[in-house]
Amino acid sequence: MTLIDLSHPLGENTPLFPGDAPLSLTPCKTHEADGYNAFTLSTGLHAGTHLDAPLHLLPQGKGVEDYPLARFHGRGVLLDARGQAVVHMRADYEDLVRPGDAVLLYTGFDVWFMADPARYFGAHPVIDEAFCDFLLRRGAGLLGLDTPSPDRAPFPLHRKLLAGEVFLLENLTNLGALAGGPPFEVLALPLRLKAEASLVRAVAFRGQTGMRDD
The average pLDDT across 91-104 equals 97
Q: In which band, very low, low, confident or very high, does the pLDDT at 152 lie, cut at 50, 70 and 90? A: very high
pLDDT at 212: 36
Angle between helices 156-163 and 129-138 (to 10 degrees): 10
DSSP assignment of 136-193 equals HHHT-SEEEESSS-SS-TT-HHHHHHHHTT-EEEESB--GGGGTTSS--EEE-PBP--
At residue 209, the pLDDT reads 54
46-87: pLDDT as tens digits: 999 999 999 999 999 999 999 999 999 999 999 999 999 999
Computed over every residue of the chain, the mean pLDDT equals 95
Regarding pTM above 0.75, the answer is yes
Contact 124, 149 (CB under 8 A): yes
Confidence at 205, pLDDT banded by 50, 70, 90: very high
Please report the domains of the chain, with CATH numbers, ordered by start residue: 2-206 (3.50.30.50)
So what's the pLDDT on residue 142? 98
Q: What is the pLDDT of residue 207?
A: 84
Query: pLDDT tens for residues 120-134?
Result: 999 999 999 999 999
